């Protein structure tokens, strides 16, 4: 499967395309992760239909979600949220801006017997968090796995502000001493810059942050020392402490 449809091709004047290298285009495929089965769209979906680079990080949810109320923002197919439900979360809300993604979250929840604990909602993440804040909703765990806010080096200042805004909104819907899982797939957003965005968000709200675990891409996405662009995924599992 050749997925040459990244937006960066536009900068080089190249046409985006997705095609198969051999055989016929596949229909909907099923992948299994952590005992949960997901339907994916390999051709029309994001990347190759699934974010394999986050697999190990989703495994790391287990100690934090049992019996918890979980909010999965930028959910796509519900990978984080459905995994959390399978690990014992009592209630999961998955939010994504794509109608087709939200439909597949429902399909995947039904297939895995999780529909009674998983709710999928179509909404813009920033707008949704503001609504939840106004309704005084609170979650034990909030997961932020957004698309890249910093696609080019010159966008770093604006993108870093977006990461700060989304993390601050997430903290405002966290329960007392709740868990924030925050990620960035922007190569131009260094680990330290993401952590700084989290720290600034917490300070602005007069809260403290404990970093419980640092996250990176799965081992089957190795980093080449001579190609710094391969070290692109970073994240943190944090406990956000009340003042």
**Which H/E stretch holds residue 31?**
strand 29-33
Torsions phi, psi for 228 (to 5 deg): -60, -25
Token pair for 99: 């109608």
SS3 (DSSP) at 200 = helix
Token pair for 49: 């239909």
**Given phi > 0 = left and psi -120 to 50 = alpha, else beta, which region is 113?**
left
What Rg do the C-alpha atoms of the chain give, in angstroms? 18
238 a catalytic residue: no
The one catalytic residue among 94, 128, 183, 185? 185
Q: Which residues belong to the active site?
A: 185
């Amino acid at each position: 499967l050749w997925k040459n449809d990244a937006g960066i091709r536009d900068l080089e004047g190249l046409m985006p395309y997705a095609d198969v290298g051999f055989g016929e285009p596949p229909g909907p495929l099923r992948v299994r992760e952590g005992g949960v089965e997901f339907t994916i769209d390999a051709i029309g979906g994001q990347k190759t239909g699934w974010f394999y680079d986050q697999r190990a990080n989703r495994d790391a949810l287990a100690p934090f979600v049992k019996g918890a109320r979980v909010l999965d923002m930028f959910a796509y197919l519900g990978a984080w949220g459905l995994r959390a439900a399978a690990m014992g979360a009592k209630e999961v809300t998955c939010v994504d801006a794509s109608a087709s993604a939200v439909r597949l979250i429902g399909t995947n929840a039904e297939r895995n017997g999780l529909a009674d604990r998983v709710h999928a909602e179509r909404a813009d993440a920033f707008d949704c968090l503001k609504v939840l804040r106004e309704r005084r909703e609170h979650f034990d765990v909030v997961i932020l796995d957004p698309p890249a806010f910093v696609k080019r080096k010159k966008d770093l200042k604006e993108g870093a502000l977006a990461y700060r805004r989304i993390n601050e909104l997430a903290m405002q819907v966290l329960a007392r001493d709740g868990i924030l899982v925050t990620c960035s797939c922007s190569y131009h957003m260094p680990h330290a810059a993401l952590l700084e965005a989290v720290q600034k968000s917490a300070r602005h709200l007069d809260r403290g942050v404990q970093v419980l675990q640092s996250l990176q891409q799965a081992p089957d996405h190795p980093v080449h020392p001579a190609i710094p662009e391969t070290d692109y995924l970073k994240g943190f599992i944090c406990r956000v402490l009340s003042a």
